[in-house]
């Protein structure tokens, strides 16, 4: 079992087998190519349950043999995954690491200096989706680098670029910058949504027309939030809009027509290491129909 440290600045992708290659690994490899970074496949060797251990022992395997067999299987899986990536992206440098532990703990701990962590969601039915979603939420909760959850989606569908939600505070600057950078790297348009708090609404999710009166202060907040981004990313076509309603519901409802959704999260003091109560990241992670990037927002 390796104790080596993952290369700082790499794009790390959690790899559990070929089922991750179609979406998560492909997205991570494309990102590594766009940013000229190394791609790192990480396989977490989950602890063996008592039932599984008993079943293996019934095959006349002693504990050390069982551990060795699992590690050998994990290394073989990584080698096959690396071979598949290199065949598709021959100029990409691909590293592999095998660690013992749960994926939602291994990835944030071992990839603390990564440029981003990418995880997949296989979407095998309602229960599987909830379980896999909870792993994704746990990784996003613990990581301090961007986490991209690649949800099942239809690659051939016409989409409208990158969508980012902001509350227009200074804390959301990293989230906005990530969204602008992704739009620039991938040549996509960007939509910036500020869901205005305190507005009366009838439950419908609505993007407010720019002519709606009484929102001059909110429009100024939004303009100040994105100030300087246009100069830094002059190639990005941006549409800024105000919205009423719950932002997580609106972002999720738009996800089927987007290439990427970007949201921020923060840790709320007094509630431990959890995604903050005001954050809508968990809902978007578990229900979006496109990749979701979750950006840690440290207090300003």
For residues 178 and 62, state if they share a domain. no
The rounded distance, in Å, linking the Cα atoms of 103 and 122 is: 15
Positive or negative torsion for Cα 167, 152, 37, 10: positive
For residues 128 and 221, membership in a common domain is answered with no
Same domain, 167 and 276: yes
Provide the CATH number for the domain around residue 276: 3.40.50.620
Q: Give the highest mean pLDDT range of 44-53, 107-116, 121-130, 291-300.
A: 107-116
Q: pLDDT at position 27, please?
A: 94
pLDDT range class, residue 82, cuts 50, 70, 90: very high
Q: Measuring CA to CA, how many Å separate 85 from each of 21, 40, 81, 200, 270? A: 8, 11, 6, 50, 43
Count of the separate structural domains present in the chain: 2
Of 119, 150, 181, the domain-final residue:
150
On whether residue 209 sits in a domain, the answer given is yes
φ, ψ at 106 (rounded to 5°): -60, -50
Q: Looking at residue 234, what is its pLDDT?
A: 96
Please give the average per-residue pLDDT across 139-161, as a whole number: 84
SS3 sequence, 191-239?
EEEEECCCCCCCCCCEEECCCCCCCHHHHHHHHHHCCCHHHHCCCCCEE
Domain membership of residue 67 (yes or no) is: yes
Q: In this structure, is residue 3 part of a structural domain?
A: no
Whether residues 279 and 175 share a domain: the answer is: yes
* 15 in a structural domain: yes
* pTM summary value: 0.84
Q: Is the pLDDT of residue 115 over 50?
A: yes
Shared domain for 140 and 178, answered yes or no, is no
User: Averaged over 187-206, what is the pLDDT?
Assistant: 70
Contacts of 77 (CB under 8 A, 6+ apart): 15, 17, 43
Question: What domain range is 192 assigned to?
Answer: 162-296
Task: Determine the 3-state secondary structure of 270 from DSSP.
Answer: coil
87 and 28 share one domain? yes
Q: Are residues 97 and 184 in the same domain?
A: no
Same domain for 141 and 17?
yes
> Mean pLDDT over residues 136-164, rounded?
85
Domain end residue (candidates: 116, 150, 184): 150
Structural tokens at position 259: 């290439």
* Domain stop point among 124, 150, 176: 150
* Secondary structure (H, E, C), 67-114: HHHHHHHHHHHHHHHHHHHHHHCCCCCEEEEEEECCHHHHHHHHCCCC
Sheet with 116-120: list strands edge to edge.
94-100, 39-45, 11-14, 116-120, 147-150, 292-296, 260-265, 162-166, 190-195, 238-244, 206-208
Summarize pLDDT for 11-30 with one digit per residue, the tens.
999 998 887 777 899 999 99
């Amino acid at each position: 079992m390796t104790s080596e440290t993952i290369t700082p600045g790499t794009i790390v992708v959690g790899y559990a087998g070929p089922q991750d290659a179609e979406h998560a690994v492909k997205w991570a490899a494309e990102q590594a190519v766009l940013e000229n970074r190394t791609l790192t496949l990480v396989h977490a060797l989950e602890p063996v349950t008592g039932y599984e251990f008993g079943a293996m022992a019934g095959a006349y395997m002693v504990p050390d043999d069982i551990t060795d067999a699992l590690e050998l299987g994990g290394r073989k899986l990584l080698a096959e995954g690396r071979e598949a990536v290199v065949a598709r992206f021959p100029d990409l440098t691909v590293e592999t690491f095998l660690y013992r532990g749960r994926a939602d703990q291994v990835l944030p701990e071992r990839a603390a200096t990564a440029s981003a962590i990418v995880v997949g969601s296989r979407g095998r039915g309602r229960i599987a989706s909830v379980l896999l979603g909870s792993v994704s939420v746990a990784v996003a909760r613990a990581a301090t680098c961007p986490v991209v959850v690649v949800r099942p989606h239809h690659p051939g569908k016409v989409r409208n670029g990158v969508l980012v939600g902001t509350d227009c505070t200074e804390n959301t600057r990293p989230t906005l910058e990530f969204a602008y950078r992704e739009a620039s790297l991938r040549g996509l348009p960007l939509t910036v949504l500020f869901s205005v708090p305190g507005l009366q609404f009838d439950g419908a999710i609505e993007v407010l027309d720019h002519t709606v009166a009484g929102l001059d202060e909110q429009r100024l907040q939004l303009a100040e939030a994105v100030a300087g981004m246009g100069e830094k990313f002059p190639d990005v076509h941006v549409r800024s809009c105000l919205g009423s309603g719950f932002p997580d519901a609106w972002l999720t409802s738009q996800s089927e027509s987007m290439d990427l959704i970007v949201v921020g999260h923060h840790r709320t003091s007094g509630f431990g290491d959890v995604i903050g109560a005001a954050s809508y990241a968990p809902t978007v992670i578990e229900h979006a129909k496109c990749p979701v990037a979750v950006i840690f927002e440290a207090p300003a």
